[in-house]
Amino acid sequence: MASITEQRQGRRWGIFFRLVLVFYLGVALWQLADPLGDQGWPGQQKKHTAVIDVVGTIAVGQPASADNIIEGLRAAVDDANTRGVILRMNTPGGSPVQSAYVYDEIRRLKAQKPTLPIYAVVSDMCTSGGYFIAAATDKIYVNRASVVGSIGVIMGNFGFVEAINKLGVERRVMTAGAHKAILDPFSPVDAVAQEHMQGILNAVHQQFIDAVRQGRGNRLKDDPELFSGLVWTGARGLELGLVDDLGDVRHVAETIIGAETLVNFTPEENLMDRLGHRLGTSVASGLAALLNSVQ
């Protein structure tokens, strides 16, 4: 009888865990059924404002990589129902190369469809590489407390020469090429190498400046600190000509573009990846809660 009772309990637990799995699978599928919420779907048969999110660091492998942003831009521009494009920006910047890719693509798309407006709308921050991208758009909208600017280039590392000397550590490095170990943190600063790297930084900075001047034109004020790397509030950026007006995404879509329906064209993970991630998270959370209740 004890064996029969044990078998029955085992079957009951097996049924229970199957039901739990089916439940969480259903929840995950329901979430996937409407991933864009009330913003609609790309390609829907309604006049809309396309939105592409530029959030976080602009770098390869990140959500705000050039590949992702450009993919979203192209899809938005190719949609016949798109009445305008908004880059919804909240980024500290990142790779100058990735930013330049997006800048050039926006300029190309604007030349291809000159009547389709492309705007940048900033929430908290749009600095450095983020502002590089925004400068290519038709207009930049901010909040008074947004942070914009930082038109500069930075490269940094640490120096441990004195530290390893005090520790009695001998640095051994071999190179083929006089400056192959350039900026080695365990070696004294090489004046020639430092001058060379400063020249590279200056060249990239000038590229940044030229892009901003080309994008903003005569809207920029003549201020000696404009390209110094400083940042400003949205209100001050408006005075300096770095931005065009105050406004959020909803305001720009409804009042400026004239299409209040928002459709998010930001590329996402494919269906199976999203399903796997959400299902895995849901099941793990459910099992953890179950085990805690059993204990």
Rounded distance between C-alpha atoms, residue 286 and residue 18, angstroms = 12
When the pLDDT of each residue in the chain is averaged and rounded to a whole number, the result is: 85
The listed CATH number (2.60.40.2550, 3.90.226.10, 3.40.50.2300, 3.30.750.24) that belongs to domain 39-155+218-267? 3.90.226.10
Q: Where are the domains of the chain?
A: 2-31+276-294, 39-155+218-267
Distances (CA, A) of 105 to 5, 70, 100, 283: 69, 7, 8, 41
- Give the per-residue pLDDT at 158: 84
Residue 233 is predicted with a pLDDT of 97
Is residue 215 pLDDT above 60, yes or no? yes
pLDDT at 135 over 90: yes
What tens digit of pLDDT does each residue of 84-122 get? 999 999 999 999 999 999 999 999 999 999 999 999 999
Least confident of 10-19, 130-139, 171-180: 10-19
pLDDT band of residue 293 (cuts 50, 70, 90) is: very low
Scored b (16 or more CB within 10 A) or e, 101-131 reads: bbbebbbebbeeeeebbbbbbbbebbbbbbb
